[in-house]
A and B are shown apart, each in its own frame.
Chain A
């Protein structure tokens, strides 16, 4: 039986060019005996960073794939300038900043922070925020104003092709979720 299989294997190898008709059908299949090309999924977002600037203080919270998002600790009654960045860090030697693509395709993207457990925190787009052709800022740069002490969760969404860019819950925006992460939030 083994011999039979070896025969099969041999046929499989030579068959590549037995195939007369393939030529008629624009077949790229001759001599595919070498190894398939390895694919590095470049679009994947596997690192998300949030940078908080308050005066001269800068804090960065970074989530990496296969870990839990870190807890964001803010001070009560302050104004923070917050930037969000998306990366493909599959190859540690070549980290790609996907935020640039999001800005280029601002019409098709929208960042939404949905809050749970907080009532004193407000989030507004910054004046320098990127916006699409409709002029609606897409929340890459936001101003966070904290109130009294409280704790909760900030669920961060990157939405691809939202059906509209106004709303108060995730459902309002439609589209496809490209990023959904829960950052615990503590304001003291």
Chain B
């Protein structure tokens, strides 16, 4: 191993570092194998071994906190040898936990977290259903399976759903487009209520929902779960499986699959015909965690096929009027698992890759790339050659590249900044044989942001940030010449006309570019050991989306023709949000209030002539317009009481108001709601938990009048009468029960009952409330195997 020679006056210099913190490591023991020589590194990690002879040596470096390391050296050696030691496994985990489980997105971000355990209680449902449990969140639904989260009264493009650090791009502009997120493979859901999280978006005035995946471990382990469940209502079955293998060398593999199928749901008194749905989702990932560096790739897919209630499919305003006037759905058939037209089919693929670098103690950066392919098809009742052809067929592809960096100053400053680039391509397939609702377009977006944090003291912290986005959209769109003239586009947009076709259309090229500047300022003050006060003021600016600019077509379920508006400009919002939080102790609570003013709020409003008459009869005609001023304000309250180590109470309540300048209420604003949950831990040894849930949703008393008149033909005479689509449903109170018990180690069973009283109720935020009530009692059984 080593050989002696005449010259034995060489010295070996070395320097020892902590691999993870990149700090010099003192008190490491350096031992030469075969000879009894031992030295220790000094305060700044250096050591020297003198009087060495020429030859090959093997040395062992050890440290109480670290894994021993063997190094071969050859003497003579002039350079200083840098040696990196790695911490022991347990320490490593602590470091990782310290560095990353503090998920907070900023000093003044007001957040709520749903852990994987909580999230998985909703695995048979959707993201919207799960996150609705948090205060300030509601759901905007189309039937039972299409659920869009609403944050502080806003949804769609006004909130951001972040997956793998990148915003989900799945045609979120549509009222009946639910996010393409599968709950089975996620670690937690983080809700950020303010608008000041500029890292992800400068236009998410409602807030941000961030989907977090499992951390990558550096240890040998195999974990995951299998779950099998059944619901009596709709005869739903689901199977979910997730497996993750991690190893000592930092390799992490994982895969998940989620299958769900249900037939028609039942309301209290009748079958909700064609409310069946089928879902397949899955994911696979590989990542390598080398502590100071981490990289990984992930692929996931999500396929959802959702039936749309037969009775909600109306051909014209007359059908809508008849449906509204009928107390029961006009089309009730017997139960089936078959999904008929109308239905929607969504296929979402996502490939993402990331690199994280934490090489230096006070600098870290990440680079994320994501490709998303969202294919959305809607099938209607059609005839002839188009019978099985989708009526809407949109393929949206998005590439995102995002770079983020964090710098921490030894003193009291920290900076976060980054840049993002996005390309998007939308292709509306002409095979539909119908006018494109959204035209073919390409979009490019570039953003830059910077946030600086200042820790004045442990108890008082400040942050300020800014973001600049520029977007550019290029659409080629056909306009019916009559419509073009009616909208007066010749005055402003004549130069966009490329050609006039024989079918009476203009082909136009619409190039739009918007610049948006957003900024945030926030502070957090420790009032005492337990209580924090947080304040954030954000100014955001949002470009009109493709639907708001260009949409042109029929939305069947509301017998509405929607028209985009080329004249729209970005909407700008100020949102002030504050929170008092006490998150420790047996009584924890948070009270959050917000007030926002939105200028040029983009809204879909009845057009001046109101109706469009076709052979099918009349349709409501709605155009995107800008309301000069919208004012929104609200309060969220959360409370958790630990009455004893067996009994817990959780409560949350939200109230919100939104008005236009002249005090006209905004449509679709969630009514007051309060949720309470009583949790009894019957036994902790073999976990046995009973949860009783109660949810009260009030009647929304503030709503705008959107009624229209229809010529009814009654008893042989035509009468013009008002059709009331504005009135809101009455309040309701739902009760639920869950019993969860562990049988053997790793195996647990769950029974849950939703809507125990089998109440027949309608929800204001369900677009199909005119046609049918919500679903009745649902009893579910579930078996879980965790490993």
Contacts and interface: CB of A to CB of B under 8 A. Distances in A.
**A, B: real partners:** yes
Interface of A: 4-5, 8-9, 11-12, 15, 19, 21-22, 24-25, 27-29, 32, 35-48, 63, 65, 90-91, 98, 101-102, 104-105, 108-109, 114-119, 152-153, 155, 160-161, 163, 169-171, 174-182
What 10 A-B pairs come out closest when comparing CB atoms? A180-B617, A177-B315, A176-B315, A101-B384, A37-B430, A45-B615, A21-B371, A8-B472, A36-B440, A25-B373
Contacts of A11: 423, 444
Contact of B615 (A37, A44, A108): A44
B680 interface: no
B314 A152 contact: no
Contacts of B513: 5, 8
B614 interface: yes
B498 interface: yes
Given A174-B330, A177-B316, A180-B617, A39 B478 contact: yes
A79 to B, nearest CB: 22
A117 B715 CA distance: 9
21 contacts: A11-B444, A12-B444, A25-B349, A27-B373, A35-B476, A36-B430, A36-B436, A47-B615, A48-B615, A102-B383, A104-B384, A105-B383, A116-B717, A117-B717, A163-B330, A163-B331, A170-B322, A171-B326, A175-B315, A180-B617, A180-B618
Contacts of A5: 472, 513
B423 A12 contact: yes
Interface in B713-738: 713, 716-718
Given A41-B433, A169-B713, A170-B322, A160 B439 contact: no
A27 to B, nearest CB: 6
Interface in B412-447: 423, 425, 427-428, 430, 432-436, 439-440, 442, 444
Given A28-B427, A180-B316, A182-B711, 6 more contacts: A5-B472, A11-B423, A35-B476, A36-B440, A98-B384, A179-B616
Given A32-B425, A35-B476, A90 B503 contact: yes
Interface in B334-353: 349, 351
B397 A177 contact: no
Contact of A114 (B330, B427, B474, B713): B713
Contacts of B507: 35, 38
Contacts of A48: 615
Interface string B608-621: 00000011111000
Contacts of B425: 29, 32
A156 B439 CA distance: 34
B646 interface: no
Given A90-B503, A171-B322, A171-B326, A36 B713 contact: no
Contacts of B371: 19, 21-22, 25
Nearest to B316: A177
B501 A181 contact: no
A188 B27 CA distance: 115
A182 B478 CA distance: 31
A159 to B, nearest CB: 8
Contacts of A21: 351, 371, 399
B716 A117 contact: yes
A155 B386 CA distance: 27
Contacts, number: 168
A170 B330 CA distance: 11
Contacts of B434: 39, 41, 43
B382 interface: yes
A176 to B, nearest CB: 4
Contacts of B315: 160, 175-178, 180
B318 interface: yes
Contacts of B89: none
Nearest to A156: B615
B345 to A, nearest CB: 16
A36 B439 contact: yes
Contacts of A153: 713, 718
Nearest to B498: A35
B319 interface: yes
B83 interface: no
A15 B615 contact: no
B314 A176 contact: yes
B616 A178 contact: yes
Nearest to A63: B615
Nearest to A64: B615
A63 to B, nearest CB: 8
A19 B399 contact: yes
A38 B478 contact: yes
Contacts of A41: 433-435
Given A39-B434, A43-B386, A180-B617, A161 B716 contact: no
B381 interface: yes
Interface in B607-636: 614-618
A11 B513 CA distance: 15
Nearest to A91: B503
Nearest to B353: A21
Contacts of B423: 11-12, 15, 19
A170 B351 CA distance: 51
Contacts of B436: 36, 39
Contact of B503 (A36, A40, A180): A40
B713 A170 contact: yes
Given A24-B351, A25-B371, A27-B373, A176 B381 contact: yes
Nearest to A68: B613
A121 to B, nearest CB: 10
Given A39-B433, A171-B330, A152 B319 contact: no
Interface string B295-315: 000000000000000010111
